[in-house]
Amino acid sequence: MPLLIKNGRIITATDDYCADIYCQDETITRIESGIDASTLPSDTEVIDASGKYVFPGFIDPHVHIHLPFMGSNAIDDHESASKAALVGGTTTLIEMICPGPDDEPLAAFNEWNGLAAPLSAVDYTFHMAVVRFDELAQDQLKTIVADHGIASFKIFLAYKGALNLDDSDLFDLLTMAKGLGVITTAHCENADVIDAMQRKLIGEGKTGPEWHEPSRPVSVEAEGVHHLATFAELTGAHIYVVHTSCTQAVEAAVGAQLRGVNLWIEAVAPHLTLDETYTHKPDFEGAKYVMSPPLRERSNQETLWNGLKSGIVSTIGTDHAPFNFGDQKSMGKDAFTQIPNGIPSVQERVDLIHTFGVLAGKIDLNTFVSVCSTQAAQIFGLYPKKGSISVGADADMVVYDPNAKHTLSVDTSLSKVDYNAFEGWEMTGRSSVVTVRGQVQARDGEFVGTVGRGQLLKRKPTHF
Ligand code: URP
Ligand code: ZN
Ligand code: ZN
């Protein structure tokens, strides 16, 4: 069905103007002022965006949906996660495929895509985690890039014995990635140091969630960034540091950029809005706030916001990783090392950043769009079909009411997780209408779309 969005204030990463947007066959075909609805096909759906912003659909470049991890499995499926994303204004998800060290990469790709394809209500693609790098894995990774359009890898320097890659494999992987033009996203924390620190703290009887941060302090993350950047410097590979949490890590990344390393920095919503004091909440409630890298001392947030404002930090994702408080986080009652890591926020990200970023004066509206949508599309080979409002782009749009007040709560969350890390927080701004390729998929906090409509987005490598 054709779609006309009238009277909106269109805000992209670079522009801010008023016009009407007409979409046919899933695509934006006209952007003009005063498009007369009576001249359009009679079945055109007309949305009045008076007093509202029209943004390109937001992109979350870092989510976990299917995630076997730390003896458990993340609780969302692709239906619940994509519905949550949509009502929050996110129309494209990039999920991490995280197989175990014995799994074959191609089987993992087929498993993840097999789960996503029938259930995803948003368009999606994957970062392919590399947790083994033998000859079979190398061949299969090349096939995944060439035949399945996956143009980004993921590596973990953390999670010793589970997901982390050793240094000789890291060097060879980055060499291969450079040759393929694939960007490598990376979790940068030193696995061995964390392992030693964890054993020391547990040995001293320091077992509660509040000891998670001291077990992996900022220096451990900064060392991880510097470590990865050294390998990128030597191989020429392009790298993207995920969920950067602190000043020292940003400084290490900027130092590498100044040496000529092709490096991009991601921040995530939890690090921008929560701090390490949440892990001190009584009755083990602090476990809800255990993620890695950990929530930091609040002053680090200023660095992240300033980095976003100045362009040093390119994107804001969520690192959505939903583990129930009741029966999953509780596995770590006796030792924080057993708490499944993750703070879900795929539904909340856009409103959190609008409220605490735009309305608080930390970033302007164009930067908001740039870091929550456009730059993810550009870095990961989705632009301009995604991340832009332009003729020929996919008709993924968010009609956003900047004045709507609402309260975040587990009661209104479409994720399956049994808690909301932002419970009771007052937000200003909410997505009124969310479209994916010209079809309304969410309206005023409700999913109104079609499950399984999401498509796998095939990408071409661009990072040569
Ligand atoms: O705590 C986190 N971040 N959980 C998900 C896995 C990861 O490291 O991204
Ligand atoms: Zn991570
Ligand atoms: Zn993650």
pLDDT tens by residue, 2-61: 999 999 999 999 999 999 999 999 999 999 999 999 999 999 999 999 999 999 999 999
The pair of structure tokens assigned to 200 is 């020391």
pLDDT, average across residues 328-355:
98
Is the model's pLDDT at 161 over the cut of 90?
no
Number of domains in the chain: 1
Considering the domain boundaries, does residue 419 fall inside one?
no
Mutate to test the pocket of ligand 1, among 185, 274, 341 (most ligand atoms within 8 A of CB): 341
Q: Are 106 and 79 in contact (CB under 8 A)?
A: no
| Ligand 1 proximity of 291 Cβ (cutoff 6 Å) | yes
Nearest ligand (C-alpha, residue 224): 2
Nearest ligand (C-alpha, residue 188): 2
Considering the domain boundaries, does residue 421 fall inside one?
no
List the one residue out of 320, 317, 319, 341 whose CA is nearest residue 266.
317
pLDDT, average across residues 449-462:
98
Ligand 3 centroid – CA 57 distance (Å): 21
Nearest residue by C-alpha to atom 7 in ligand 1: 292
> Per residue in 195-234, pLDDT tens?
999 999 999 999 999 999 999 999 999 999 999 999 999 9
Considering the domain boundaries, does residue 279 fall inside one?
yes
The ligand 1 atom at the shortest distance from the C-alpha of residue 62 is: 9
Residues with CB under 5 A from ligand 3 (ion): 319
| Ligand 1 proximity of 83 Cβ (cutoff 6 Å) | no
Percent of the chain topping pLDDT 70? 100
Mutate to test the pocket of ligand 1, among 164, 243, 296 (most ligand atoms within 8 A of CB): 243
Considering the domain boundaries, does residue 388 fall inside one?
no
Ligand 1 centroid – CA 62 distance (Å): 10
Q: What is the pLDDT of residue 228?
A: 98
The ligand 1 atom at the shortest distance from the C-alpha of residue 159 is: 8
Considering the domain boundaries, does residue 15 fall inside one?
no
> Per residue in 80-102, pLDDT tens?
999 999 999 999 999 999 999 99
Nearest ligand (C-alpha, residue 67): 1
| Ligand 1 proximity of 319 Cβ (cutoff 6 Å) | yes
| Ligand 1 proximity of 386 Cβ (cutoff 6 Å) | no
Ligand 3 centroid – CA 268 distance (Å): 10
Q: What is the span of the domain harbouring residue 180?
A: 56-379
Q: Are 351 and 429 in contact (CB under 8 A)?
A: yes
| Ligand 1 proximity of 294 Cβ (cutoff 6 Å) | no
> Per residue in 99-129, pLDDT tens?
999 999 999 999 999 999 999 999 999 999 9
Mutate to test the pocket of ligand 1, among 164, 292, 318, 320 (most ligand atoms within 8 A of CB): 292
> Per residue in 388-408, pLDDT tens?
999 999 999 999 999 999 999
| Ligand 1 proximity of 64 Cβ (cutoff 6 Å) | yes
Ligand 2 centroid – CA 242 distance (Å): 7
| Ligand 1 proximity of 221 Cβ (cutoff 6 Å) | no
> Per residue in 238-247, pLDDT tens?
999 999 999 9
Ligand 1 centroid – CA 268 distance (Å): 11
Considering the domain boundaries, does residue 389 fall inside one?
no
CATH number at 375 reads 3.20.20.140
Is the model's pLDDT at 188 over the cut of 90?
yes
Nearest residue by C-alpha to atom 3 in ligand 1: 292
Percent of the chain topping pLDDT 90? 98
| Ligand 1 proximity of 317 Cβ (cutoff 6 Å) | no
| Ligand 1 proximity of 341 Cβ (cutoff 6 Å) | yes
Is the model's pLDDT at 346 over the cut of 90?
yes
Q: Are 162 and 132 in contact (CB under 8 A)?
A: no
Considering the domain boundaries, does residue 448 fall inside one?
no
Ligand 1 centroid – CA 274 distance (Å): 16
Place of tokens 């079945």: 43
Average confidence score pLDDT of the chain: 98
- Measure the CA–CA gap between 317 and 270, rounded to whole angstroms: 9
CA dihedral 323, 325, 330, 335 (to 10 degrees): 80
| Ligand 1 proximity of 288 Cβ (cutoff 6 Å) | no
Considering the domain boundaries, does residue 428 fall inside one?
no
Cβ-Cβ contacts under 8 Å for 462 (sequence gap 6 or more):
151, 181, 183, 381
Three-class HEC string of 330-348: HHHCCCHHHCCCCCCCCCC
Ligand 1 centroid – CA 20 distance (Å): 40
pLDDT, average across residues 314-329:
98
List the one residue out of 387, 357, 384 whose CA is nearest residue 370.
387
Label residue 293 by pLDDT band (50, 70, 90). very high
Residues with CB under 5 A from ligand 2 (ion): 187
List residues bridging with 54 in a β-sheet.
10, 399
Q: What is the DSSP string of 97-109?
A: E---TTS-HHHHH
